Amino acid sequence: DAKTTQPPSMDCAEGRAANLPCNHSTISGNEYVYWYRQIHSQGPQYIIHGLKNNETNEMASLIITEDRKSSTLILPHATLRDTAVYYCIVKAVNRDDKIIFGKGTRLHILP
């Protein structure tokens, strides 16, 4: 079973910041938080990942709470092309840990 819980859908106005929450209350110390997105019927695309520090790259920012039980993916200036399903995944460092996707959050960017 997926180790994360996400809202099924969210709306965001174009040009505004999209904040996508993820709950992973049973996360272990050796587990990373990964975010992927799937645009229409394409294969999912990696966005960002982190362990406990906040992370930022050219696509997004990842904010992980101090207790690591939840995180937020931030798309700073959402565009229509960011309309997609966003998946939050928890995966351990060890090689054999499976990568399990949950149902994700369907983000609608409104013009």
Under the rule (CB under 8 A), what is the footprint of another protein? Answer: 1-2, 32, 34, 36, 41-46, 49, 51, 85, 87, 91, 93-96, 98-104
Provide, rounded to whole angstroms, the least separation between the CB of residue 73 and another protein.
Answer: 15
CB of 11 to another protein, least distance (A): 18
Facing residues of 42 across strands? none
In the complex, minimum distance from the CB of residue 15 to another protein, in angstroms, rounded to a whole number? 28
The CB-of-76 to another protein minimum distance in angstroms stands at 21
Q: Is 6 exposed, middle or buried (0-12, 13-18, 19+ CB in 10 A)?
A: buried
Question: Based on CB atoms, which residue is closest to another protein, 29 or 42?
Answer: 42
Nearer to another protein, 1 or 111 (CB): 1
Cβ proximity of 84 and 6 under 8 Å: no
Specify the residue, 2 or 10, whose C-beta has the smaller distance to another protein. Answer: 2
Residue 107 CA to residue 111 CA, distance in Å, equals: 13
User: Which residues face 108 on adjacent strands?
Assistant: 11
- The β-bridge partners of 13 are 110
